[in-house]
Amino acid sequence: MEFRPILSAMLRNKTGAILVGLQIALTLAVVANSVSIIMTRAEKIGRPPGIDSENLIFVQSYGFGPNYDQRSTIDDDLRLLRSLPGVVSASPISQIPMSGGGSSTNLGAEQTREKVTINTNHFSIDEHGVEALGVKLVEGRNFTQSEIQFNPDPNNSDFVPFVILNKDAAKAIFGTEHAVGKTVYDLSHSAIVIGIMDNMLGSWVGWDKLTQVMLTPRIEAGPLARYVVRAQPGRRDALIADIEQKLSGTNPNRAITYVRPHQFYKERSYRADSRMVAFLSVLIGLMVSVTALGIVGLASFHVSVRRKQIGTRRAVGARRVDIIRYFMLENWMLTTGGVIAGSVLAFAFGQWLSSAYSLPRLPPSYVAGGVVVLWILGQLAAFLPARRAAAIPPAIATRTV
């Protein structure tokens, strides 16, 4: 192999080699860290919501004036919603999961300040709520109609006698103990756990306690009323139009403020993350292209200034493949130098990002992946100019001086 001659040629033109090496190093550092950020965000966006997100519709009504009655409005609305074709189930609901708005309460297995510390998202529903959300009860039982609480004063702080916890909440509060039949406490109330459901996500997608959820059997006081409607697969959009039309005008004392798919909230809550993913993907694409084009440009240029030497080499017996190998090897050596520096840079940059912006540590596999990609990219970028070099006829050596 021609390591030695290539190396000495490079050393004669150090600056050029250093520039390409630096460019490759920076590219590796940025790409590895960007991919790491993208993967973290994609993982966050991809968490299963635990509810039948695709088929859920949320409806909000807002009452006004002295003639508005929350309870009768909700009863009428639910009757109407449940009678619509294409509806699997419907329930009142206090908040919209993953929407960025919600309620949470500290709970504990004992009523002491030290124990009541498990922050839990909660959603109030009626006996149809479990089915309407599409969560699965894994233990215990659902609420019954007679257990659904209602207090018309919006400022009351009543609690409920029974609750359903999801697995994560039950685990955080009771550890490995069997939770059904146990009592949970906040600082002034208690309730019996009657059921455990599979995990679902709570209100704030950026919150580390997102996976701890409690369902309570309760219809909230007015003037705001929200419903969750679960549509049969494929009928969601038609149903949204239907609900809008059927509910408007049924009650002069309230306004229907929206009828929206759950997708709307999911997308809105993850918007900052999808934005980051989109932006970084574009950046990676641009960066890799600029670097590759830079390699092509520089290699082409080297070929054009070395036409005479190449011709001479060919004339003294070098085959085409030798010329190609020379340029490919030269590029590989440059890339290798670049990725070695780049790996160091990538980890240093990753370290800084994780300490300054509390981003997760950069996994070494991303750097390794980046190294392989840059090697391949460098070889691909060098191949075209190398082939052009190989096409230089040996006769050129004899022409001009």
Partner 1 sequence: MLAYYSRIALKSLRRNPMLTSLMIGAIAVGVGVCITTLTVYRLMSGNPVASRNDVLYSVTLDSWDPNRPWAQDHPALPPPELTYPDAQALYASSIPDRKVMMRKAAFVVEAPPKSGVAPFLIEGRTTTKDFFAMFNVPFKYGGGWDQAADDGSQMVVVLSKKTNDKAFGGADSVGQTVRLDGHDFKVVGVLDEWAPTPKFYDMNNGAFDEIEDLYVPFGIGQQFEMQSAGNTNCWRDQDINNFQDFINSDCVWIQFWVELRGQAKATAFQEFIDNYVREQKTLGRFERPLNNHLRHPDEWLKVNEAVQDDNRVLVGLSFMFLAVCLLNMIGLLLAKFLGAAPLVGLRRALGASKSAIFRQHLVEVGVIGLGGGLLGIALAALGLWGVRHLYENYDELTRLDFPMLLTAIGIAVLSGLLAGFYPTWRVCRVQPAAYLKTQ
The footprint of partner 1 (CB under 8 A) covers 15-16, 19-20, 22-23, 26-27, 29-30, 33-34, 37, 62-66, 113, 153-157, 186-188, 248-249, 254-257, 268, 271-272, 274-276, 278-280, 282-283, 286-287, 290-291, 293-294, 297-298, 300-302, 304-305, 353, 357-359, 401
Q: What are the distances in angstroms from CA 129 to CA 8, 103, 243?
A: 75, 17, 18
Let me know: does 2 contact 326? Beta carbons within 8 Å: yes
The least distance separating partner 1 from the CB of residue 268, rounded to whole angstroms, comes to 7
The beta strand positions in 112-240, using DSSP E, are 118-125, 137-140, 149-150, 162-166, 183-185, 190-197, 213-219, 224-231
The least distance separating partner 1 from the CB of residue 176, rounded to whole angstroms, comes to 26
Nearer to partner 1, 286 or 376 (CB): 286
Nearer to partner 1, 65 or 317 (CB): 65
The least distance separating partner 1 from the CB of residue 299, rounded to whole angstroms, comes to 10
Let me know: does 93 contact 60? Beta carbons within 8 Å: no
The least distance separating partner 1 from the CB of residue 83, rounded to whole angstroms, comes to 22
Alpha helices in 204-257 (DSSP H): 236-247
Let me know: does 217 contact 127? Beta carbons within 8 Å: yes
Nearer to partner 1, 165 or 334 (CB): 334
Bridge partner residues of 231 (DSSP): 87
- Cα 104–Cα 105–Cα 107 angle in degrees, nearest 5: 140
Q: What are the distances in angstroms from CA 384 to CA 23, 303, 315, 323?
A: 20, 11, 22, 12
The least distance separating partner 1 from the CB of residue 186, rounded to whole angstroms, comes to 7
The least distance separating partner 1 from the CB of residue 22, rounded to whole angstroms, comes to 5
Nearer to partner 1, 13 or 144 (CB): 13
Tokens standing for residue 199: 């995990």
Nearer to partner 1, 304 or 398 (CB): 304
The least distance separating partner 1 from the CB of residue 295, rounded to whole angstroms, comes to 9
Let me know: does 86 contact 232? Beta carbons within 8 Å: yes
Nearer to partner 1, 277 or 324 (CB): 277
Given the structure tokens 């998202």, which residue do they identify? 121
The least distance separating partner 1 from the CB of residue 141, rounded to whole angstroms, comes to 29
Nearer to partner 1, 235 or 268 (CB): 268
Phi, psi angle pair for 394, to nearest 5°: -60, -25
Nearer to partner 1, 315 or 384 (CB): 384
Distance, CA of 15 to CA of 32 (rounded, Å): 25
Tokens standing for residue 152: 């018309």
Distance, CA of 56 to CA of 230 (rounded, Å): 5
